[in-house]
Amino acid sequence: MGIAEKFIKQGQLDQEEYPELLKLYKDQKTIDLLKQEAVRIQKKYFGNKIYTRGLVEFTNYCRNDCYYCGIRRSNTNAVRYRLTKEEILQCCENGHELGFRTFVLQGGEDPWFNDERMVDIIQTIKKNYPDCAITLSIGEKSKESYRKFREAGADRYLLRHETANEDHYRYLHPENLSLSNRKQCLYDLKELGYQIGAGFMVGAPGQTMENLAEDLVFLKELNPHMVGIGPFIPHHDTKFAKEEAGNVELTLFLLSVIRIMLPKVLLPATTALGTLDPRGREKGFQTGANVVMPNLSPVKNRKQYELYDNKICTGEEAAECRGCLSRRARSVGYEIVTDRGDSPMI
Ligand code: 5AD
Ligand code: FES
């Protein structure tokens, strides 16, 4: 039995075995085998439904300085913005009319949005749209802050672990950030009853197949409700400006692997995947992804939330992306739906 068959049979491998599987990401027979199994599982739990979340990028101020990210603190060329509460609510209003029932509030780690302001925004969105889920994606906070947001009505939290290897984590982040704290945040969030999302960039500078093996083992152990992976894409104003972008085939291969390893997981076909390949998101659905997260941010600010170069959908209105994604999903036999799309694990 080959390594792919073994993985499919067991739903996981030992850490030392993963590199052997991952190195086959260009092998057509293996690709097809994993893809077929991933889609079988995806159809079993989700049918041909693709869940959608409206992304509100409400601030690009950030106190952190992650080496890969375009809105890192030391990028003095970044034009900074913060949406007002009214603007955030307006994004939700547009989104709600378009059928979105999950709002993802994403931003840099911006101290201006302290607990009090976040709680007020969360409570107001929940009051206006009681049928909607709120997802936060605002980085590392204290457990106390996470508790307050949860009590205010936040349902889910996205915090990519970025890499499960200590040395690689050091390579990607400045001294003040640590993998242990990142993991602690994820466990705290889980304990507080959030549906949580972890994840990493495929092809991040310095990443090895052994690192990816560690990521997979960590994900299996954490057992998150959602896993966000997308290719690394260099940003011209960062330390990694001259690095190569991640590989689309490897990203798709990993989507299949993660779908097989965590059958009920929510798995987005990311904007980064769509940026590197014009049909990247469609290919993502066809390899196991079942979520998309189009942008609801005001078009005037879209280009300013630039984590990486050439990001797609920075000129389109939310309604255009909604229509575009419906057509794209339909073109490969899937359908965008408007439910909250809670994790089947809860
Ligand atoms: N390329 C791809 N993804 C990136 N992210 C940050 N910078 C980049 C980049 N240059 C991802 C990180 C982060 C998420 C919000 O965006 O994984 O967690
Ligand atoms: Fe935004 Fe296609 S999804 S234009």
Q: How many domains does the chain have?
A: 1
Phi-psi region of 3 (alpha: psi -120 to 50; beta: other; left: phi over 0): alpha
Q: What is the ipTM of this complex?
A: 0.97
23 CA → ligand 2 middle, Å:
32
Task: Establish whether residue 160 lines the binding site of ligand 1, counting it when its CB lies within 6 angstroms of any ligand atom.
Answer: yes
* Residue 222 covered by a domain: yes
Q: 32 lies in a domain?
A: no
Look at residue 346 and tell me if it is in a domain: no
Q: Give pLDDT, residue 346.
A: 81
For ligand 1, atom 18: residue with the closest CA: 160
| Average pLDDT score, the chain | 98
Could you report the per-residue pLDDT of 9-19, keeping only the tens digit for each? Answer: 999 999 999 99
pLDDT at 278 exceeding the cut of 90: yes
Ligand nearest 70 Cα, by number? 1
CA of 261 to the centre of ligand 2 (A): 30
In a domain? residue 27: no
**Domain interval for residue 185:** 45-337
Ligand 2 centroid distance, CA of 271 (Å): 9
The residue written with tokens 């009090």 in the block is: 116
Q: Which of 52, 325, 331 to mutate to test the pocket of ligand 2 (most atoms within 8 A of CB)?
A: 325
Q: Model-level pTM greater than 0.95?
A: yes
Does residue 292 form part of some domain? yes
Name every protein residue with a CB atom under 6 angstroms from any ligand 2 atom. 294, 313, 316, 320-321, 324-325
Distance 6 CA to ligand 1 centre (A): 32
- Domain containing residue 128: CATH number: 3.20.20.70
CA of 236 to the centre of ligand 1 (A): 14
- Spell out the residues 6+ positions from residue 21 whose beta carbon is closer than 8 angstroms to its own: 3, 4, 7, 13, 30, 257
φ, ψ for residue 114 (rounded to 5)?
-75, 180
Cα–Cα distance for residue pair 274/282, rounded to 1 Å? 8
Amino acid 131: pLDDT = 97
Expressed in angstroms and rounded, the spacing between residue 187 Cα and the centre of ligand 1 is 21
Task: Check: CB of residue 58 under 8 Å from CB of residue 107.
Answer: yes
- Determine if ligand 1 sits within 6 Å of the CB of residue 69: yes
Q: Is residue 299 part of a domain?
A: yes
Nearest Cα residue to atom 2 of ligand 1: 232
- pLDDT at res. 151: 98
Residue 37 belongs to a domain: no
In-domain check, residue 68:
yes
pLDDT per position as a tens digit, 139-197: 999 999 999 999 999 999 999 999 999 999 999 999 999 999 999 999 999 999 999 99
Q: In 3-state terms, what secondary structure has residue 64? A: coil
